[in-house]
Amino acid sequence: MSNGSNIDTSKLGYNSSQRKRAILIVIVILTFFGVGFYYNSTVDSLPKCNSTKVMKALEDMLIPGTTVKNPEQYDLDTDSVTRFCRVTLNDQIYSYKVNWYSENKDKIIVSFQ
């Protein structure tokens, strides 16, 4: 008996087309993980609706003294990398969105809908 470290795949019945198919399946799976990671890393780097950066941008757009409460995300578009948010301003609910200014991802745009 051998020690089991060398396995002769020809005796297991794996032919060339089965190996190619298995390799193709692995490549497809890794591609999906790669694309998913890219989308998640792009979206995850976009500041959240209640982040300090977004709240500062909101407050800069508002009249001084406006009461800002309960910023929350209600939707996310991963294709356009946009967070859709709601906030209570002086006891009224408003919707706004957060997205990148450019591909550099160094500035954000906060705009009311």
Q: What is the pLDDT of residue 88?
A: 96
Residue 85, pLDDT > 70, answer yes
- Indicate the DSSP class of residue 18: H
What residues contact 93, with CB distance under 8 A and at least 6 apart?
Answer: 86, 87
Q: What digits encode the pLDDT tens for the residues 27-84? A: 787 777 666 555 444 567 899 999 999 999 999 999 999 999 999 999 999 888 999 9
Q: What is the pLDDT of residue 1?
A: 52
Residue 6, pLDDT > 90, answer no
How many residues are recorded in the chain?
113
- Domain edges within the chain: 13-43, 47-112
d(C-alpha 30, C-alpha 54), whole Å: 34
d(C-alpha 83, C-alpha 95), whole Å: 11
Residue 98: other Cβ atoms inside 10 A: 24
